[in-house]
């Protein structure tokens, strides 16, 4: 059992919290109440960033002390939205939210994952007709191993998990969000994920 704090209680955060609780972990979800994020992060071993990516850096920078020595799982994408509310551009072109977080929080082990799919797939990957791929980016091998074990608890087979390497590789997976609005306009809001065919 791992103590986990989920920052963000929208569709993504709520979905992850329920699934991880069902898997036997002790999960706390931080709402918008003053101090809730700090309290949740302080008592957790793993903190999941499921806050809107555009404001994630400022929110998490304010939790530097609470995140010291913790694993921060970043599942957000920092984007500027278009008129229809779908992602239109990256906030950190030539970089990534995950890299910015790691630079801002050097004593925290940042791991990027689960950001290349629609949120229902995060906790039910086997429901797709083809095997999806989930990626890991991060500097700390032990942190990535821990996150990989959590992914397995969410239903991800080990062969579906691809470790891309250091945190710099997150700029590639974050850029994949630019596919999403075009796919949604083409096929509708149907669960999908990126898959590496082998």
**Predicted confidence (pLDDT) per residue in 128-156, tens digit:** 999 999 999 999 999 999 999 999 999 99
CB contact burial 72-81 (16+ within 10 A = b; e otherwise) = bbbbbbbbee
**Predicted confidence (pLDDT) per residue in 80-122, tens digit:** 999 988 999 999 999 999 999 999 999 999 999 999 999 999 9
Quick one: pLDDT band at residue 198, thresholds 50, 70, 90? confident
Q: What is d(CA 122, CA 16) in angstroms, rounded to the nearest whole number?
A: 8
Strand order across the beta sheet in which 26-30 lies: 26-30, 3-7, 46-49, 71-74, 109-112, 134-138, 161-165
pLDDT on residue 32: 77
What mean pLDDT is reported for the chain? 96
pLDDT on residue 34: 77
pLDDT on residue 147: 98
**Predicted confidence (pLDDT) per residue in 11-53, tens digit:** 999 999 999 999 999 999 997 777 899 999 999 999 999 999 9
């Amino acid at each position: 059992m791992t103590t986990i704090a989920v920052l963000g209680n929208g569709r993504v955060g709520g979905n992850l919290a329920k699934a991880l609780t069902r898997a036997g972990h002790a999960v706390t979800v931080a709402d918008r109440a003053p101090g809730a994020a700090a309290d949740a992060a302080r008592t957790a071993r793993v903190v999941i960033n499921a806050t809107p990516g555009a404001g994630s850096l400022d929110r998490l920078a304010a939790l530097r002390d609470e995140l010291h020595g913790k694993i921060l799982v970043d599942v957000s994408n920092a984007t500027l939205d278009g008129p229809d509310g779908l992602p239109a551009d990256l906030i950190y072109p030539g970089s990534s939210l995950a890299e910015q977080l790691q630079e801002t929080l050097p004593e925290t082990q940042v791991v990027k994952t689960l950001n290349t799919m629609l949120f229902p797939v995060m906790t039910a990957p086997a429901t797709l007709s083809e095997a999806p791929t989930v990626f890991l980016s991060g500097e700390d091998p032990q942190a990535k191993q821990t996150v990989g074990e959590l992914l397995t608890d969410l239903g991800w087979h080990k062969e579906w998990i691809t470790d891309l390497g250091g945190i710099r590789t997150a700029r590639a997976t974050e850029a994949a969000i630019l596919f999403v609005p075009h796919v949604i306009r083409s096929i509708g809001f149907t669960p999908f994920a990126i898959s590496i065919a082998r």
